[in-house]
Amino acid sequence: MKIGLLIKELRIKKGLTQEELADKTELSTRTIQRIENGEVAPRAYTLQMIAKVLEVDFSLFTKDDSGVEMDVDKDSNRTWLAMIHLSGMLPLFLPSYIIWNRKKADIKEMTEHYRAVLSFQSTILFMCLIGFWVLYNTSNPRVILIFLLISGLFSVKNTFNVLNGKPYKYFGIFRAKRNKTKSTLR
């Protein structure tokens, strides 16, 4: 069943008019009408608000007739995937881990992207350790700065690639198990 028809059916069962649903969800009546008529595909946040008012589980709106998960908001998924790539800018693992842990169940490609970023961050960390050794022996901080600049440029480039649905590519001496170089969100 299409999401709009399902929302309309649940709204009627709940005894709400389109205007009442719009007021309770803080959406316009026209937006509710357009969703129910199938004119627009609602964003995940909008579906969450509607699900809350209709007192149903949000996952009801993210499954198709066969019970298979649908991709409700590809733009939102791309944004989260891009954020994990941007977090790879520095060899700090905690931001990447937090993003991955928060979204791994919602976005099927998240673990693949996380592994690629983690491999890249590990490589940059290893290179920075070499840079610290050079710094200790020569008092020349340029090596560390160069490695951090390279990691920043790669991360920003891959962030834009993921946002635009293009392939991403990292270098690394530590390879991720399944490091595909293509974003499957299109």
| 119 pLDDT tier (thresholds 50, 70, 90) | confident
CA–CA dist 19, 10 (Å, integer): 14
For domain 3-62, give the CATH number: 1.10.260.40
Q: 83-99, pLDDT tens digit by residue?
A: 888 888 777 788 888 88
Q: 128-163, pLDDT tens digit by residue?
A: 888 888 888 888 788 778 877 887 888 888 888 888
Instruction: Kindly write down the DSSP assignment for every residue of the chain, as one continuous string.
Output: --HHHHHHHHHHHHT--HHHHHHHHT--HHHHHHHHTTSS---HHHHHHHHHHHT--GGGGGB-TTSPBP-S-HHHHHHHHHHHHHGGGSS-HHHHHHHHHHHTTT-TTHHHHHHHHHHHHHHHHHHHHHHHHHHHHH--THHHHHHHHHHHHHHHHHHHHHHTT-------SS--TT--------
For the cut 70, the answer to whether the pLDDT of residue 102 exceeds it is yes
Domain ranges of the chain: 3-62, 74-163
Q: 28-85, pLDDT tens digit by residue?
A: 999 999 999 988 888 888 888 898 999 888 778 776 544 444 544 566 778 888 888 8
Residue whose pair of structure tokens reads 């700090």 in the numeric block: 92
Task: Give the global pTM.
Answer: 0.52
